[in-house]
């Protein structure tokens, strides 16, 4: 495929991330001030910011985020300062990707809780340390 055809294919794609290199050395990064999402090695991981500039929970989806609207099953892990240190729940990830913009909502049925919606931008690379609990 010629460079011109590759460029045309990328312009026609709904998602910039679909055309970006997402190999192990260059994961696809999405971010906002409250959430960081990384797609690498056919897995999606999230860090969700707590107060204090650290992440107090994180999520995982065993596949990349697709273009367009999506509903994916994954896990949500809440960090805490007592044994066992974290609790993992099943979660539903609902959202949509359009160009360089993603909206994402996380439903955690066992907690009867919904997080978001979050508005993420492709290429924003935020990382935070895990919250340290006494």
The tens digit of pLDDT for each residue in 89-99 reads 999 999 999 99
Number of domains in the chain: 1
Residue 128 lies in a domain: no
Q: Is the pLDDT of residue 86 over 60?
A: yes
Q: Which residues of 58-70 are buried (b: 16+ CB within 10 A; e: fewer)?
A: bbebeebbebeeb
Residue 105 lies in a domain: yes
Q: Is the pLDDT of residue 20 over 90?
A: no
Q: What pTM value is reported for the model?
A: 0.77
Residue 102 lies in a domain: yes
Residue 19 lies in a domain: yes
pLDDT of residue 130: 87
- Mean pLDDT in residue range 36-64: 91
pLDDT of residue 44: 96
Q: Is the pLDDT of residue 15 over 60?
A: no
Residue range of the domain that includes 88: 3-122
pLDDT of residue 1: 43
Residue 93 lies in a domain: yes
**Quick one: pLDDT band at residue 51, thresholds 50, 70, 90?**
confident
Residue 50 lies in a domain: yes
Q: How far is Cα 56 from Cα 72, in angstroms, rounded to an integer?
A: 22
* Residue 53 CB coordination number (10 Å): 9
pLDDT of residue 127: 84
């Amino acid at each position: 495929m010629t460079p011109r055809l590759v460029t045309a294919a990328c312009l026609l794609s709904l998602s910039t991330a679909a055309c970006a290199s997402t190999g192990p050395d260059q994961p696809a990064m999405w971010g906002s001030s409250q959430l960081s999402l990384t797609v690498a090695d056919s897995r999606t991981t999230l860090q969700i910011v707590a107060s204090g500039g650290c992440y107090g929970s994180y999520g995982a989806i065993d596949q990349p985020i697709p273009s367009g609207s999506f509903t994916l099953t994954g896990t949500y892990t809440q960090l805490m300062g007592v044994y066992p240190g974290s609790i993992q729940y099943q979660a539903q990830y609902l959202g949509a990707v359009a160009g360089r913009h993603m909206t994402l909502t996380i439903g955690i049925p066992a907690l009867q809780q919904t997080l978001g919606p979050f508005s993420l931008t492709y290429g924003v690379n935020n990382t935070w340390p895990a919250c340290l609990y006494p």
